[in-house]
Amino acid sequence: MARVKKSEDVPKGMQEKFHSIARLTDELARQRLNEEYALLMRQATAALCRKRPSPLVSGNANTWACGIAHAIGMVNFLFDRSQQLHMSATEIYQWFGVSASTGQGKSKLVRDTLKMRQMDPDWCLPSRIDDNPLVWMLSVNGWIVDIRHAPLEVQLEAFRKGLIPYIPGHQGEDVVILQMLQDEP
């Protein structure tokens, strides 16, 4: 699975637009969400800035910030009241002063442009990686398997190839594991 480049690097000509949108999404995250959401929204904004041509070139910063917040929220079930951290789509639209149809339209454009979907491993909150089955389901010899239940050597190979974010049960030991893999003949 190809991974999205996750950074806040943007072309020089898009830096002003990036900062104007990021200020808005950061404020939403500070007041209503958390730092994980803030980071993902900045990374999504940066990814949109790097697109050629960037869809962010035209349009209001509030409208784009709303669409980005809504898109990241959809991926991570922000609108589900059963989640500890939740916020309705209407609250997002109101926060940014955007109509529901405009907010939904920008969200769809963001999701289509960045190929986002619910539970998307590339846009999943870091705190939800452990529970996201799409992160751990891989094709091994033509079979879809939950790599968390595979033998350690299969997990190591998947980690080495960048297919999984860490070795299940060994989070935080990834640097040591990679060094061990490099030392093997």
Q: Tell me which of 163 and 42 has the higher pLDDT.
A: 42
Residues 45 and 114 in one domain: yes
What would the mean pLDDT of 132-142 be, rounded to a whole number? 86
Lowest mean pLDDT segment, chosen from 26-30, 121-125, 138-142: 138-142
Residues 47 and 108 in one domain: yes
What would the mean pLDDT of 137-158 be, rounded to a whole number? 88
Residues 152 and 68 in one domain: no
Lowest mean pLDDT segment, chosen from 39-43, 112-116, 158-162, 167-171: 167-171
Longest distance between any two alpha carbons in the chain, whole Å:
60
CATH value at residue 86: 1.10.472
Q: Which domain holds residue 150?
A: 129-183
Q: Residue 185 pLDDT more than 60?
A: no
Note if the pTM is more than 0.85: no
Query: Is residue 111 included in any domain, yes or no?
Result: yes
- Structure confidence by residue, pLDDT tens digits, 79-136: 999 988 999 999 999 999 999 999 999 999 999 999 999 989 889 998 888 888 888 9
- Structure confidence by residue, pLDDT tens digits, 31-47: 999 999 999 999 999 99
What would the mean pLDDT of 62-81 be, rounded to a whole number? 97
pLDDT at 1: 42
Q: Tell me which of 110 and 7 has the higher pLDDT.
A: 110
Residues 103 and 178 in one domain: no
Residues 134 and 57 in one domain: no
Query: Is residue 164 included in any domain, yes or no?
Result: yes
- The amino acid occupying position 89 is A
